[in-house]
Amino acid sequence: MNKTLTTLSAALLTALVLSACGGGGGDNGGPPLVVDAEGVSTFDSTALGTTLVALPSETLSLAEQATLAYMSEEEKLAHDVYVHLASLWGTSVKTFANIATSEATHTEAVRQLLLRYNLPDPAASLGAGQFQNPTLQALYTQLAAAGGPSLVEALKVGAAIEEIDIVDIQAALVNVDNQDIRLVYENLLKGSRNHLRAFVKALLQQGVTYVPQYMNPADYLAIVNTPVERN
């Protein structure tokens, strides 16, 4: 493992421990999603757990079960690609490492829902860049490779991932009525919008105007032309 990956792994572990202990910007009565000045949006594990306990545990539909399994691996994909890109471009920009740390807490938020409903976690025990879902496995391979040629291409990959997340979470929410799942998904959606803004800003700093690849252009502009969302 190279020095960049070793440092990043330590940062990820520290962030998760802080979240589990209620540190890192929240307390039992705080918001489940903590947003920093750059728009990096991190779940506070303690605050989220407290919020979920207060909500009813309702019967799951088959659609809800399917979206939870998919979302677990999709959040892992974002994390794993960003860790990979941080190993390539982390000396040029901190965006990948910062958002990778955040994405680890997004994966944990979905895992809390899987535990709450006694569902298996398809992302459990999988190594970096490994996925049970063949579509996500192929997407990881594609995106990890696409971010290799240059920093600009890597930042475009980051923006594309957040676009994909936004589209998929919005689609999932159509079939979700359980309050606890909606709470997590809506916060994941907010985080993805903030992270999209962060990557678009980083591209502008490189002199590049990002063109959306997956979202409706009007929906994309409505996000990037508004400020970072806080609580």
Cβ atoms of residues 203 and 209 within 8 Å? yes
State pTM to two decimals: 0.86
Number of domains in the chain: 1
3-20 and 45-53 helices cross at what angle (nearest 10)?
40
pLDDT at res. 104: 96
Residue 229, pLDDT > 80, answer yes
Residue 220, pLDDT > 90, answer yes
Mean pLDDT, the chain, as a whole number?
Answer: 89
Residue 104 token pair: 């680890």
Residue 159 token pair: 């923006």
In a domain, 40, yes or no: yes
Residue 220 token pair: 């994309």
Cβ atoms of residues 31 and 190 within 8 Å? no
In a domain, 231, yes or no: no
pLDDT at res. 30: 76
CATH of the domain at 218: 1.20.1260.10
Nearest to 5 by CA among 107, 96, 111, 131: 96
Residue 29, pLDDT > 70, answer no
Distance CA 133, CA 110 (A): 16
Domain span at residue 211 reads 3-224
In a domain, 8, yes or no: yes
In a domain, 230, yes or no: no
Cβ atoms of residues 55 and 180 within 8 Å? yes
Query: What is the mean pLDDT of the segment spanning 139-143?
Result: 98
Mean pLDDT lowest among 22-26, 161-165, 198-202? 22-26
Cβ atoms of residues 107 and 97 within 8 Å? no
φ, ψ (nearest 5 deg) of residue 5: -65, -35
Nearest to 196 by CA among 173, 216, 221: 221
Residue 4, pLDDT > 60, answer no
pLDDT at res. 180: 97
Residue 25 token pair: 């910007």
